[in-house]
A and B are shown apart, each in its own frame.
Chain A
């Protein structure tokens, strides 16, 4: 687990490339399903209002997690489908892909979920979501004015995130 290891956010954010419009949007949920943070960079299509969109996204992840936990071919006793599971327990997933987007998912041990939606051709973004988690630790958790469980309104976090996301390829 690298989550707590490096708060070394500053050293080397990957070099920004010219093709910098791969990210569509990002969601962040806490373990209760509250949307802490939502940001979109490129989203031409809105099918629902924001609240419903966040709920649907959380519901999708929740159900996909119970699906993967149930389908896990490496363990025998998995309980019933939809059995409540702690973060890190059971088989989870790290990404799925459709013809129009790719969704990368990371869950921290404390149940913070980071969801990054990008262009379907982007590579493995597990490191990217971890980096974003580290940004969250640096600029949000360490911010004395931030009350846990409330929507994130930290300028430093947003600017650093915007800058980093441009480098995702």
Chain B
């Protein structure tokens, strides 16, 4: 029955968890130093980074850590019980859930925050390590996990069925530690819902999982109207066990991230007038170097100055003091601004500036019950924003035409001048999109000098689709040489669906989930630096399938019935009618009858 050991609980004071300590190694090290894992700890921080153009990246990170023993006994404190119970009930050891909307413009904005580890493909993406005895049990637990999460997050996760589930082989590896679990009992399952519209109803349960629930701390900034007005936004939840290599103490960690890219000018305009309207002429900054530039024609100049903004302008409110659980001794920063050094930053007086961090970010510590705001004034000429070159650029598109066949073309570009890069390219295709594996080709641009040196695909895992049972899974290990482009192409055939399998808006097309490109952690050859695991996702695609006329089944039934009835009628009549000569047919004298009737009528009238 019930027996627990008495264990006193205390607030841990722990060395500060810096902003970029999301990596497992750092956390493990920190835990080793503090040596004590008897209580739940919580951290939250916000990173504001102006991107190229008029965009601002706001990265919210919430993280709580608690001993796994109390988690297993279902004694929840900072870890949300609603999620914890689901994980225990479905024996899920590690969970990654992503909600994303919009496209990360890597050409303009550079590498994704957190090396793309927190971003998901458009819509909803979920992958988890489920502990089970065999495949069937894992599948059942995965289904109940999806159903439970669907209820918790108000998303249609319950539609992740076997056709949308894959078991990646090369792309993912567990980020948690499993000292006591046999790895053969852990099953990785991955599902995507590219069509899912992410909206406020998903944000509300997300905020409810936080200990401060959007009532204090940086989460007060999160408002559905602003979040879903952003150019790109991604919410993520990661749960994993972390064990200390020294004393074997295990903790359960939950990380919640929200990354959003705000269009500053759009947000400011929203503030001034809720109804969008064209800008006045005097507000326009025109590029007068253009030859057609005159009073009538204006070529708008984007980056002529840095737009002024403050938190309350962009988010509609300021931060309402610190979340009491995220207060530490010595204090850890809560809000950081990664702006170029020459950009002026003006926080409110109540803020305490943290000692400058090594990467030059300006960080602030929130005080309890004191409003915090930060403003960056207009600056001319514009500062050059900090941009991190992504490891790889990836694009994917459809080729071909017609209702029967099509093709997919993926372009992978390695911007580095010297480093080779090895990536795992993962496609999860719906079953009605049937690729021909023999058409899979990798083209290298520029072509290699040695014609025998074009082995771009070094490894391939392919699991063909089964109609209505599972989708295609294609994983390819691709090596992209420096300063070159790899073009992967393949052809596919479009299946014809059954009548009831079409969604109500069949002519819109069918979403095909984003391809996931994973760069495994490696040591860069040029400078020997460690490159952490990075993932990049392409946009989702819209596949148009041949759609039937939906009144067709009834037409067919009626048409067939009529033909059958006609055939039956004539055969039957042939069999039972008697055939006689025309003059033998007994005629009905209609004329006489009608005349007689008319006469009768006349008679009665005359009378």
Whether chain B is bound by chain A comes out as no
Binding site for A on B (CB under 8 A): none
